[in-house]
Amino acid sequence: MIQYNRLEKTFTLTTEKTMYQMQIGPAGHLLHLYYGPVTDGCFDYLQLPRDCGFSPNPYELQEGRGWSLDTQAQEYSTAGTGDFRLASLETESAQGIPGADLRYVSHEIRPGKYQLEGMPSAFAGEETVQTLSVVLADAATGIQAELLYGVFPHRNVITRAVRIHNRGTASVRLNRAASACLDLPFGDWQLVHFHGRHTMERQPERISLMNGVQTVSSSRGASSHQHNPFVILCQPDAADRFGTCYGMMLVYSGNHRTDVEVDQAGATRAVMGISDSNFSWTLEPGEAFETPEVLLTFTQEGLDDLSHLYHRFIQHNVCRSRYALERRPVLLNSWEAAYMDFDAEKLLRIARDAKSLGVELFVIDDGWFGNRDDDFRGLGDWFVNEKKFPKGLKSLLDSIHGLGMKTGLWLEPEMISEDSELYRRHPDWALTVPGRKPTIGRSQLVLDLTREDVLEWLYETFAGLIRENPIDYIKWDMNRHLTDLYSHSLPAGRQGEVTHRYVLGLYALLERLTQEFPDVLFEGCSGGGGRFDAGMLAYHPQIWCSDNTDPIARLSIQEGTSYGYPIPAVGSHVSASPNHQTGRRTPLGTRGVAAMAGTFGYELDPAQLTEEEREEVRQQIRQYHTWQDLIREGDYYRIQSANAVRPYTAWQFVSQDKEEVLLSVVLAGVTSNPRPLHLQLKGLDPKARYQIASADFYGCKAELPHAPDRVFTGGELMHGGYTLPILLGDYPSAQIYWKKVTG
C-alpha cells in the first residue's frame, strides 16, 4: 500500500483503484507527482523545469534558473520562500522571521491509522490501513511539518493531516495552517461546491475555474449553511456515470477555507483547511499544532461513484456511533406540533396519537426547561420547567416509555440567554468583548467553550440529565454563529485562537458524552443543516438536514447533501400542510416520498390529521420499515434534477446484492400535454430480470402503462429506460419498487 523507492526517492500510496505518488526533490522539497488510476512507473518526468521569469530559485539550484517552487507541484506549499501561489502554511517567528522553508528530514511507514488529539478523524475499523509520516523542517526557525497520510486500500480513500512542531528556541505564530494541498499540474477542471443559506442549504453549483483564485469558506464559527467544507474538482465532461473526479472533504465543524488557483502555467492548486480569518496560533518551543483531517478520493467513474465512496467511508470509517450501521426509530418531533406552547398533558396526548400511528420515538423539542416560554430567555437553565411539568420531566418520560415508545429531548448546550440564571451568575462565560455591547442572534449569546470550567459544567449538567431520566435520543442544536470573538480566560496574545479552541472544546464535550452514553442516539442540528459536516458525523450519526421541511424545497437540499454525505445521516421528516416555512400545500404521500430520502419521521400534530390521513401515515411507516434496510444500506443514485425542461426530481436506491430497486419521483410542477416522464435507472445487474413488486402514486390518479407482471432486464431499465405514466395534479409523486426475479 505504501512504498518508498530509495533510488528514485519516491513515495507511492496505492489503494485498490488509485495511486498517489510524491518525491523528494533535488533540494529536499516534497514534490507531488501523480494522483490517479493504479499504474506502474515514476512520474517525476512531469515535473518539467522551466524559466517562467520572476519565479525565483532555491539557493542550491540557482544556476539553471529552470527550477522554482513557483512552478513545481508540491505536497505542502509555504509562503515567503519563492512560491507566489496559494500557501498551505504561513508563519512568523518571535524574531520576525517570515515563512518556513520546509525540506525533507525523515519518514516512517507504519501499520494502522494515525489519530489526531482532540479532533475526530477516520479510523481503520475492519480495514487494513497504513500511515505514512513525512517530516519536513525549516532550519532558520525550527519549525517542523509532519505530513500524515492514511491509506485505506479497500475504500479508495487517502486521508491527510499535518502536525506542526516548534523545535526551535523561540515562539512561532501560525497565521495559516492548512490540512492538505493538492496540485494538478495539467488538465482543465471544474469546481463543484455547495452553497446556500438558512433553510436552503447545500445547493450544488458547478463552475469553470478562472485564471486566479476562487474561494469557498466560512468565518461563522461553524461549517455553516452558506458554504460546506466539501468540494469536487472534475473534468468538464464528467457526469454522474463517467469522468474524472477528485473529492476533498474536511473533517471539521468550524471556520474553514478552500482555495482553488489556476496559475500562470495553467496548473491547478487546491488548498483546504481551517480558515485564516480570525485565526492565529502561538506555538511555544516544544509545542505542536494539529490540523483537521482531509478525506481525499479519486475516481474515473463519475460523480455517482465519488458519492458512493464518501457514503461508505463516512458510515464505516468516520461515524463512531453504534447507530451508524443500525436501524433508527421512526420519530415524531414536537416542534411543529406545539412549538413552546405545551404542558405535560398536551405532550402525552401527542405521544399517544403518534403511538397509534406506528411512531416509535417521541421527541420533546425546545421549551421544556427554565422559564423558556419563548426564545428570548432561559438558555443555560437546564432544569425542568415545573409549571409545565408539575410531576417532573422523568414522570412524563416514564409515561411515554409506558406507551412502548422511546423518548428524546432537544438541547442547545452551546448557547446562553442574557435572561437566565446562568448568565446572571457567570456573565464572563459568554463570548463578549470588554467595553462593547455584544451582537445578539436569536436573542442569545454563545458560551465560551474554550474554558475548562464551562466544559466541565456542561458535561456535569447533561450527563446528570441523561443519568436521571430515561432518554433514548438527544437533538443537539446550535442556533446562532460566533461573533464577539473574545474569551475572558485567554491572554491578549491568544485571542486569535478562540474559534479553533471553541471547536476543540465542543469535540471534547461530545467525546465525553457520546462515550459515556453509547446507547443514546444523538442527532446534530444547527438551525437545521448549518453544521452538516464530517466532523459532526463522527459523533452524530444523523443531522437534521434543514429547518425547511417543505418537501419540494427539500428535493434540492437533500440532493446536494447526497454528493458527499450518506443518506442515513440525513434527518428528514414529514411535516404539516400548508408548510410552516413556505405556505405550500402538498399531498401527504409526496411528503412521505421526499422524507424517505433520509431518516424518516414526522413534524406535525397527529390530532390535526383526518382519519384517512392517519391511515396513510400508518401505511407510510409500514412501507418505510419494508424499505429501511434498502434505503440505509443501498447505493443511492441521483437520476434527474429538476429543471425548466424536466420539472421533476428522481432518485433511486439499489441494494448491495442488486436484488431490490426503489425509484422515487416528485414533480415540482406540471404542465398540460406534458412530455413523457422517461428515466434511465442505474446500478442494476444488466443480465438480471426485474419485476415491479409495488407501484404507488400520490397526489394523482395513475396506473402503470404495462401489465403489472411485466418482467424487465436490468439492461433494459438502464439503457432503454423506463417511462412513467402521466402524473397530473398538485405536486404528484411516485414510488416504484422492483425485485429481482429468480428462476
**Can you give the CATH number for the domain in which 214 is found?**
2.70.98.60
- CA angle, 516 as apex, 515 and 520 as ends, to 5°? 85
The total number of residues shown for the chain amounts to 743
Number of domains in the chain: 2
**Can you give the CATH number for the domain in which 677 is found?**
2.60.40.1180
Q: Report yes or no: 430 and 423 within 8 Å, Cβ to Cβ.
A: yes
Report yes or no on 530 lying in a domain. no
* Residue that finishes a domain, picked among 271, 302, 317: 317
For 389-453, the DSSP string reads: -TT-HHHHHHHHHHTT-EEEEEE-TTEE-SSSHHHHH-GGGB---TTSPPP-BTTBEEB-TT-HH
Domain of residue 222: give its range.
2-317
- Confirm whether 613 is a catalytic residue: yes
Report yes or no on 349 lying in a domain. no
pLDDT in tens, 223-270: 999 999 999 999 999 999 999 999 999 999 999 999 999 999 999 999
The confidence score (pLDDT) of residue 527 equals: 96
Quick one: pLDDT band at residue 32, thresholds 50, 70, 90? very high
Q: Report yes or no: 369 and 420 within 8 Å, Cβ to Cβ.
A: no
- Region 170-174: what's the mean pLDDT? 97
Helix (H, G, I), strand (E, B) or coil at 72: coil
Q: Greatest CA separation found in the chain?
A: 86
Report yes or no on 487 lying in a domain. no
* Residue that finishes a domain, picked among 290, 317, 344: 317
pLDDT in tens, 41-91: 999 999 888 888 899 999 999 888 889 999 999 999 999 999 999 999 999
Catalytic residue among 533, 603, 635, 660: 533
The C-alpha atoms of residue 78 and residue 338 are separated, in whole angstroms, by 54
Catalytic residue among 613, 629, 633, 716: 613
The C-alpha atoms of residue 185 and residue 170 are separated, in whole angstroms, by 37
C-alpha cell at 659: 436484488
Report yes or no on 367 lying in a domain. no
Q: How many CA atoms lie within 13 A of 176 on its CB side?
A: 26
The confidence score (pLDDT) of residue 389 equals: 97
Report yes or no on 695 lying in a domain. yes
* Residue that finishes a domain, picked among 279, 302, 317: 317
C-alpha cell at 367: 421549551
Report yes or no on 500 lying in a domain. no
pLDDT in tens, 564-622: 999 999 999 999 999 999 999 999 999 999 999 999 999 999 999 999 999 999 999 99
Q: In the chain, how many H helices and how many E strands?
A: 12, 38
Question: Distances in Å between the alpha carbon of 505 and those of 178, 239, 253, 473?
Answer: 20, 40, 12, 22
pLDDT in tens, 499-531: 999 999 999 999 999 999 999 999 999 999 999
The C-alpha atoms of residue 153 and residue 309 are separated, in whole angstroms, by 12
Report yes or no on 301 lying in a domain. yes
The confidence score (pLDDT) of residue 520 equals: 98
- Region 33-46: what's the mean pLDDT? 96
pLDDT in tens, 670-703: 988 888 999 999 999 999 999 999 999 999 999 9
Report yes or no on 488 lying in a domain. no
